[in-house]
Amino acid sequence: MGTITTRKRKDGSARYTAQIRIMQQGVTVYQESQTFDRRSTAQVWIKRRETELAEPGAIARANRKGVTVRQMIERYLDEYEKIRPLGKTKRATLKAIGETWLGALEDVQITSQQLVEYGLRRMQEDGIQAQTVGNDLAHLGAVLAVARPAWGYDIDPMAMPDARQVLRNMGAVTKSKERTRRPTLEELDKLLNYFCEMRDRRKQQIDMVRIIVFALFSTRRQEEITRIRWDAMDEPGRRVLITDMKNPGQKQGNDVWCLVPGEAWSILQSMPRVADEVFPYNAKSVSASFTRACHFLEIQDLHFHDLRHDGVSRLFEMGWDIPKAASVSGHRDWNSMRRYTHLRGNGDPYKDWPWLKRVIDGPTIGAGSD
């Protein structure tokens, strides 16, 4: 049975401490107490808790020591990194979540209300966008989906789905906006002339002229370009092996043979064979060089990745079907290629483009490890 103890505060008011103690065979197997300002509230609490604890297995659950979200994340990162390495973004996001107030909650405390509050506070206090909240919850959801069935942690399986639905209805969780930006021929003229000048003045250690044009015609990302090796080519089939191709469900070990269109193949073959890689540069340096050039030339909102978008869209403008275009881009999910249907017209927009010959026949930059 529960007991209530009355104590006086310094100001003369009373406080009521309700205590529940459960004995089995003369041994205390569970005890719990709470303090209230009113005796009636303390009595209601005792009655409710005694009813709850009378349920089968309730005492064992109450005595169970909880595991925090931070501890779950740490276990997930430790165990799953050995099985399938995680991407840097997911790892960093999970660690950041573990350091927030949400990371201190125990498994039984994870409710849809707590997750909704986390999402709203991230937007209101940290000023992040709705798609970032969606990414946070998606990464945390992957941890919770493992923690309950694999480790036996006491997690409400509907907490995350319910929270995401509420936040989605409130507009606080959205998918990342799909970019439709493509470079214009005028912008490419500015960029290539700029990098040609840098090359001629020997102020450029990366052959950005070839990389930009190769990216356009090959549809490759900068990380993929810098990983292409001379010994990983199928010359008769005019294909290259793209290692660790970006994939939402597989960050490493996703190696794909991709067809290289004729224009890109000619650029590739024009590179000097001075290293194991065709473009032996640092991918981050490539991106940074491109960004600096756009800033200097006052080209607004153009990313290196937009060259890939332009390249895939060009294939469709030339009349290629989805399977053939996917053999170049490396897409496995053909549905994801619908975003490349923002076409500018029919035909090859780069037909008779003078830069292609200039790039193939032009001087090369000595390979380095910038």
> What's this model's pTM, rounded to 2 decimal places?
0.59
Whether 155 is in a domain gets the answer yes
Whether 147 is in a domain gets the answer yes
Helix axes 354-361, 208-218, angle to 10 degrees: 130
With cut-offs at 50, 70 and 90, classify the pLDDT of residue 369: very low
**What is the number of domains present in the chain?**
3
Write down the pLDDT at residue 204: 73
Write down the pLDDT at residue 121: 87
> Does 58 share its domain with 82?
no
> Does 76 share its domain with 135?
yes
Domain coverage including residue 31? 2-63
**Could you tell me which residue, 231 or 66, shows the higher pLDDT?**
231
Q: Please, what is the average pLDDT of the chain?
A: 85
- Mean pLDDT within 228-239: 93
> Does 288 share its domain with 339?
yes
> Does 109 share its domain with 201?
no
For the domain that residue 259 is a member of, what is the CATH number?
1.10.443.10
Whether 230 is in a domain gets the answer yes
Q: Hey, how many other C-beta atoms are within 10 angstroms of the C-beta on 134? A: 19
DSSP states along 150-199: HH-----TTHHHHHHHHHHHTT---PPPPP-----HHHHHHHHHHHHHHH
Q: Which two tokens stand for residue 18?
A: 């309700």
Cβ within 8 Å of residue 163, ≥6 positions away: 112, 113, 115, 116, 119, 137
Closest Cα partner for 279 from 290, 294, 269, 288?
A: 269
- Across the beta sheet with 256-259, the strand order is 233-234, 239-242, 256-259
For the domain that residue 140 is a member of, what is the CATH number?
1.10.150.130
Whether 368 is in a domain gets the answer no
Q: What Å distances lie between residue 138 and 80, 168, 262, CA to CA?
A: 16, 13, 40
> Does 135 share its domain with 270?
no
Residue 101's Cα: distance from chain center in Å?
Answer: 21
Q: What Å distances lie between residue 198 and 31, 117, 133, 203, CA to CA?
A: 76, 51, 41, 5
> Does 230 share its domain with 333?
yes
Whether 178 is in a domain gets the answer no
Whether 247 is in a domain gets the answer yes
> Does 80 share its domain with 36?
no
For residues 358 and 370, what is the distance between their CA atoms, to the nearest angstrom? 24
Cβ within 8 Å of residue 327, ≥6 positions away: 258, 259
With cut-offs at 50, 70 and 90, classify the pLDDT of residue 219: very high
